[in-house]
Structure 1
């Protein structure tokens, strides 16, 4: 029996298949991690769309080869790795775990910065968030974490002695606040 025949007999699948599926699984895992980071850090929409498209394409290819592996080579572990990663990612996204983790990692840093509420004058990273500006407005400290030409959004901290003006009230132009976590509010600035 040749050495290639022995490898196939032991693992149930040819070596190229195991290497290919391992590669696809690693790519899917990296895309899942990158997507979780973008969700946690409130990254830009374009990057999220690219990651979702890339993940979809690689996952479809991996699922196709996984089905071949299940039917032809009976490789359960290698073939089911990608579907399990996708299910885990779906659960994390459904329960907003990346966003919650990003907030819990960043909250203390943002609270420390809200004491002075000084704009660093440039884009900076506070926790996992890329902060584009810091400003005092309506009695609170606003951290702008993402924005477009029309709207900017972020986190606002209001000390116990103040609160945002009419939180949650719809506004046409200005800042709309809604309760997020304790003294913290999310906001959208459309001014």
Structure 2
């Protein structure tokens, strides 16, 4: 066998790399969804940990495949998916896409600003409840594990104050036109 001859990878290697790449793709899509929908911290942490774990296994097996079998496409698919996810997260694409998909639905709901009762999905966000406050309509999202937060719509004038209050209360920060992000301190 000469140096230029390629050793054909065994079937187990091809199947394993294919399955690992599929798992990486599913984890990347799940992370994009959770980031767009502003899922909870625990969900994000578990998905990131799973992606790191599967990514490490895929990298080790991929290095073996590159060195021993010279199968570049099969070995680089998963790292390229992870790199694409990293770029999307770095530029805030999932969060922005979630907002763009949901903004119109939230604006329609803000005209009545009526609490639907139970948790409901508006766009990609799970809304805990809706309340009229400070002259605007507040949408409490389900993704905040430690505090109560969400989106606030002030179509006519902004909120009374921007920034976090010294004591208990709601802090607003500008987000997108008449939309603000808020966090409520107890």
Shorter chain as denominator, the TM-score bin is over 0.9
**Which of 169, 174, 186 pairs up with 1:179?**
174
Q: Which runs of 5+ in 1 are unaligned?
A: 1-8
- SS of the aligned residue for 1:23 comes to helix
Distance 1:113 1:179 in 2: 20
Equivalence for 1:76: 72
Distance 2:117 2:7 in 1: 58
Equivalence for 1:5: none
Question: By how many angstroms is 1:61 displaced?
Answer: 0.2
Q: Which runs of 5+ in 2 are unaligned?
A: none
Contact 2:155 2:178 in 1 (8 A): yes
Superposition CA RMSD, Å: 1.5
The count of corresponding residues between Structure 1 and Structure 2 is 181
CA offset digits 1:155-182 (Å, max 9, x no partner): 000022x320111254321000000000
Equivalence for 1:18: 14
Stretches (4+) displaced over 6 A: none
- SS of the aligned residue for 2:130 comes to strand
Equivalence for 1:6: none
Higher relative contact order, structure no. (Cα contacts within 8 Å, ≥ 6 residues apart): 2
Question: By how many angstroms is 1:11 displaced?
Answer: 8.2
Distance 1:11 1:133 in 2: 60
Equivalence for 1:91: 87
Equivalence for 1:144: 140
- SS of the aligned residue for 1:89 comes to helix
TM-score scaled by length of structure 1: 0.91
Question: By how many angstroms is 1:12 displaced?
Answer: 2.5
Distance 2:64 2:162 in 1: 55
Distance 2:79 2:42 in 1: 25
Distance 2:84 2:160 in 1: 40
1:42-191 matched pairs, under 5 angstroms = 42-146=38-142, 147-148=144-145, 151-160=147-156, 162-191=157-186
Equivalence for 1:3: none
TM-score scaled by length of structure 2: 0.93
